[in-house]
Structure 1
Amino acid sequence: MSEGTFTRVCALGDLPEEGALGVEVGGTPVAVVRSEGEVYAISDICSHAEVNLSEGEVEDGTIECWLHGSCFELTSGKPINPPAVQAVPTYAVKIDGDDVLVSLDTTSS
C-alpha cells in the first residue's frame, strides 16, 4: 500500500463499539466502521441499491445494507450474500491518538 493523503474524519470516541458513522472525504461518501475492536473505511454507498451503508448493522467484520440485506466484508468490500454482487471500495485508515484518518488515495485489501 502506498502512502496517500490522510484526512481526519472523526474522533475515535465518535464511533460506536459495533457500528458506523457516515462522513464525506473530499465529497466522497465514506462509512467509518468499528467492528471487533478494529476501524475500517468503506464506501458508504451500497453497490446494489445506492443507499447509505452506514445506516446498516455491523457484526462480525461485516456491514449489512439496511434496504435489502446484502452484507459486505469490511476488509475487502466484497459482498457475501445477494442481492449485491459487486464489491464496494475500501480505504486505508490510520488512528492518531483519538483522531481517525482516512485516505481515498490508498485502498486496503
Structure 2
Amino acid sequence: MTATRVCALSELEQDAAIRVEIEGVPMAVVLDSNGVVHAIGDTCTHGDISLAEGFVDGETLECWAHGSAFSLRTGRPLNLPAYEPVPVYAVTIDGDDVLIDPTPQKEA
C-alpha cells in the first residue's frame, strides 16, 4: 500500500502522541526524545482506550487508563494488564511531511 501524509513534522511535539486515522484505522504518532517518529495502533489491547492520550517515556507509550506500556518499535506490551501487541506502521519523513504506510509491519 502507498504511504499517506498524516501531518507535518513541525506539528509533532517531542515526547507526545497524536491520534490520526488512515482509511478508518486509528494510529498513535509519536515523536520520541531522540527525534524519531513512530506510528503504532492507537487502541490499547487491554481496553478500548486511545493510546495517543497516554504518556510517552523514551521508546514507550503508556496507556493512561491501566498503565500498560507498549514498545514504539515493536508494539509489544512491556507490562500487564495488556498482553497482546498493537500493530506498528512504517513511517517516512519527506521534508516536513510525515507519511505512514497503513499496512502493519511484520516482526523481524
Task: Report the TM-score, using the length of structure 1 for normalisation.
Answer: 0.93
Structure 1 unmatched ranges of 5 or more: none
Task: Name the structure 1 match of 2:37.
Answer: 39
Identity %: 50
Runs of 4 or more off by more than 4 Å in structure 1? none
Task: Name the structure 2 match of 1:49.
Answer: 47
Alpha carbon RMSD of aligned pairs, Å?
Answer: 1.1
String of CA shifts for 1:67-108, please: whole Å, max 9, x gaps: 000000000000000000000000000000000000012516
String of CA shifts for 1:31-89, please: whole Å, max 9, x gaps: 01111210000000000001100000101100000100000000000000000000000
Give the whole-Å Cα distance in 2 for the aligned partners of 1:62 and 1:18.
10
Structure 2 unmatched ranges of 5 or more: none
C-alpha distance 31-59 of structure 1, shift in aligned 2 (>3 A): same
Task: Name the structure 2 match of 1:25.
Answer: 22
1:60 to 58, 72, 83: 58
